[in-house]
Copies of this chain bind each other. A is one copy, B any other.
């Protein structure tokens, strides 16, 4: 089995973008790259073989969901996540922290709408120095998530890249509370790393840089975490209330990260962000956005997005994109997909997902080429 390693092939002369390669026990991830999200150990509407055929190099699975169903012990018994889902390519898992807190607080968007008035729902029972006690959304049973239990769960899953346990503070939070949360997150991440280093299990661990939208705290978080033995760095927490704030935050934060280690942007991968995110120097980014768009009938092409349910598509018997070489465009037309979506047939969701995932993978390949040519 190969060890985790990161290699930079080229740095753009006109931006912070870079082309590299992450080596993992289950193969290579070319960077920059898009990481698709398979929350429940599958990309929705696709199977692992199809995902392999499309060429996805890194898949994101959610520890929180897998802890509750089927349970990490079950997946361990199956021989780990790769065997369970029959994937012979890299996987990354998160700590479960994000889900516990975001399900309780709602998304930043929800918060912005409610102007910070949204209160905790009752899924979180207790947060203290030890960790967080919450109720399972499946059966209401109490679950204690701590740095150690999160990392043990991720050891059982056996992904190539794992994430330390962190707290996701709400977007609307006082400076004092944010500082307190950050300090606790740092202690949790350090405990996670210590637990991980006792049994590396040939996994790599990426720290999660926090600090919300506060530059001073982002700098502090970067300094603290980059002094520990992490293999890479993910940027998490609240990234601002709009794209511009996020881009500024990335441009501010990334220079504090060691240039020879891979970095990852958590939860961002919409088409409007990709360009700036890559220029800021991000190596990998995960998002359920392209696959969720697909299931809602929003198809990506080089000439813009297409709403499959638009009535004009009913009698359009061309492929989604004439220049696309994905399975869906090779065999099926817009008109047929329009019909499948109208008839609410699952087949439509599968074919649309294949197309959007293929689009993202090709897009990333194009970005790598442009960076190598110093055009980005």
Contacts and interface: CB of A to CB of B under 8 A. Distances in A.
A43 B345 CA distance: 9
A59 to B, nearest CB: 13
Contacts of A333: 78, 84
A41 B85 contact: no
Interface string A70-84: 100010011100011
Contacts of A78: 315, 317, 333, 335-336
Interface stretch (A44-52, A272-280, A364-372): A44-52
B315 A74 contact: yes
A69 B339 contact: yes
Contacts of A65: 343
Interface stretch (A156-164, A346-354, A355-363): A346-354
B47 A347 contact: yes
A244 interface: no
B338 A70 contact: yes
A340 interface: yes
A82 to B, nearest CB: 12
Interface string A144-163: 00000000000000000000
Q: How many copies does the complex hold?
A: 2
B347 A42 contact: yes
Nearest to A336: B84
A224 interface: no
Contact of A77 (B315, B327, B346): B315
B335 A84 contact: yes
A45 B327 contact: no
A contact residues, range: 35 or more
Nearest to A73: B315
A42 B84 contact: no
B339 A70 contact: yes
Instruction: Select the residue from A46, A86, A317, A343 with max chain B CB neighbours within 10 A.
Output: A343
Contacts of A338: 70
A49 B45 CA distance: 16
B350 A47 contact: yes
A48 B337 CA distance: 12
A77 to B, nearest CB: 5
Interface string A94-128: 00000000000000000000000000000000000
A252 interface: no
A335 B74 contact: yes
A172 interface: no
Contact of A350 (B85, B317, B327, B350): B350
A332 B70 contact: no
Contacts of A86: 331-332, 336
Interface in A318-337: 327, 331-333, 335-336
Interface of A: 40-49, 65, 69-70, 74, 77-79, 83-86, 314-315, 317, 327, 331-333, 335-336, 338-340, 342-343, 345-347, 349-351
14 contacts: A41-B339, A41-B343, A42-B343, A45-B346, A45-B350, A47-B332, A69-B339, A69-B343, A70-B339, A78-B333, A84-B333, A84-B335, A86-B332, A350-B350
Given A41-B336, A69-B343, A78-B335, 9 more contacts: A42-B347, A44-B345, A45-B350, A78-B315, A78-B317, A83-B317, A86-B331, A86-B336, A346-B346
Q: Give 10 nearest A-B pairs by CB, closest first.
A: A40-B343, A70-B339, A42-B347, A45-B346, A86-B331, A78-B317, A346-B346, A42-B345, A47-B347, A77-B315
